[in-house]
Chain A
Amino acid sequence: MTYVSLTDADREEMLETIGVTSVDELFQDVPRGVRFDRALDLGNPLAEQEIVERLEALAARNTPAGEEISFLGAGVYDHYIPAIVDAILQRGEFLTAYTPYQPELSQGVLQALFEYQTVICELTGMDVSNASGYDGTTVAADACYIAKHATGRTKVVLAESLNPQVRQVVRTYAPGFGLEVVDVLHRDGITDPDELRAAAEGAACVIFQQPNFFGCLEQAPDLAAAANDAGALAVAHVDPISLGVLEAPGAYGCAIAIGEGQGAGNPLSFGGPHYGFLAAREEFTRRMPGRIVGETTDVAGERGYVLTLQTREQHIRREKATSNITTNQTLLALGGLINLCWLGPQGLRELGETCMALAEHAKDRLGVPLVFPGRTTFKEFAIRVGRPAQDVMREARKQGIHPGYPLGRDYEGLDDALLVALTERRTLGDIDALAEVLSA
């Protein structure tokens, strides 16, 4: 493949116009001592066909979701993505545009982002959403930064039942933000509101997940109330696919709702790129990180959309900005928007109900003990397999089944536990197959 657009004759003419005799002369400001004087060791240039062959060979050494019956979830889910998502996202006017700095040439992306913000606000019950964050982990760090500045406090509280990667990312960011991080342990799979209330004393915010990492439903309204009692912002980390059946965080007193958007509209793609969403009550509008699209009118009174409240952002406020983010995940967020429009309110509710029903069926059918019996779950639940989960996984995979995520990677005492995810892509037959493998 070649991406060269100039001919040698072009180059000659252009050098003459510039008034130099060689391309090398253009680099006269680069000191001799820092010049690179050999060819980069990057191999021979490849033809397009050779690139495809090379990458097909690499892809063939992976086992994607379609090649086995997979019950993997743990934060990233194999939900069905309708054909229209790719059809629209592959249009060059969206795919190859930069950030919409010039609104007259960017009404398409701007209006779509305004619609995305609206959909996120509707799902979460919030007033304002940004135009996306990097993923479901970094938006948690963003929420801590908002909370620190909104409350003037320097402690954040994380439920242990919050996705471990989210907790790790918050811990990575915390020293730079000047924040101390405190965990609240789970009790049989969920967080105790009284323990949370005690920990939230003097905290800027509390972050919990609904449904939590184990798939269990937290007593979310009680957790939000506990945070509010302590004057800490209640932050719920939610699954967009659950919000047709589960209550919106805004309805039970949360200040901020965040989450990983992948399940709505993005392929698994080995962990990214995906999009994180962040929505808040109106009072936090000026503390929001990243791009926000707002409605306005043009000089003739026509409705139009622009990037707005930009004085929050790094290119204007620089060292005092609400965040350093500039590039976000717009295209992935638009995938989410299209997917959610395709589902509609009915479809989203039915999807949630189907996942839940499949999970309930699987709990009965698998015939193995649950790690947290009696807990209400959504589309994921933890099972005990009676021996090292890694061994079970290895054996099951030989039968073409991925039985789930080994919880022992993140939690002590759960080396024999697997987290099993059910999406609408799994069938009753798949569940039978898993049951058979587990009973072997």
Chain B
Amino acid sequence: MAADESYPDDLRYHREHDWARIEGDEAVLGITWYAQDALGELVHFEPPEAGSTVAKDSSYGEVESVKAVSEIIAPLSGEVIEVNQAVIDSPETVNEDPYGAGWLIRIRLTDLGEDDNLLDAESYRQLVSEQ
């Protein structure tokens, strides 16, 4: 079942439709409801390797639907400490629960001040409503 549209207030957002949940010096990353809806039913997640580094505003992996492929942009920089195996096994988890079970990777942040220019939920909602 596809999730209903939502943009939780406790997350920070990147304008390329990615979110981050910052937990101390770590962060969990994923794609927003808007991104999964635009792509349609996901069929594949190409993850980064654990231990590799991701850089803010750069692609760290890909998600695919049947007719589209989209790069996933990192909202923050860090080292990959965990990849969500559940999404690799069942990519539709992202469609069903984009902010919960459908998270993509967990990183250890390398630049703690970086979240300053990410959007809050309100600003991101505004951005999406203009698209």
Contact = CB atoms under 8 A, between A and B. Distances in A.
A317 B65 CA distance: 12
Contacts, number: 15
Contacts of B65: 311
A409 to B, nearest CB: 45
Contacts of B66: 310-311
Nearest to B63: A311
Interface centre among B46, B64, B67, B68 (most CB of A within 10 A): B64
Interface string B42-81: 0010100000000000000000111111000000000000
Interface string A305-336: 00000110000110000000000000000000
The interface size bin for chain A is: under 10
A317 B69 contact: yes
Interface residues of B, number: 8
A311 B66 CA distance: 7
A425 interface: no
A218 B28 CA distance: 52
A294 to B, nearest CB: 11
Nearest to A317: B69
B67 A316 contact: yes
A311 B69 CA distance: 6
Contacts of A316: 67-69
A426 B69 CA distance: 53
A415 B65 CA distance: 57
B45 to A, nearest CB: 12
B38 to A, nearest CB: 15
A394 interface: no
Given A311-B64, A311-B67, A311-B68, 9 more contacts: A310-B66, A310-B67, A311-B44, A311-B66, A311-B69, A316-B67, A316-B68, A316-B69, A317-B69
5 contacts: A286-B44, A311-B44, A311-B68, A311-B69, A316-B67
Interface of B: 44, 46, 64-69
Interface of A: 286, 310-311, 316-317
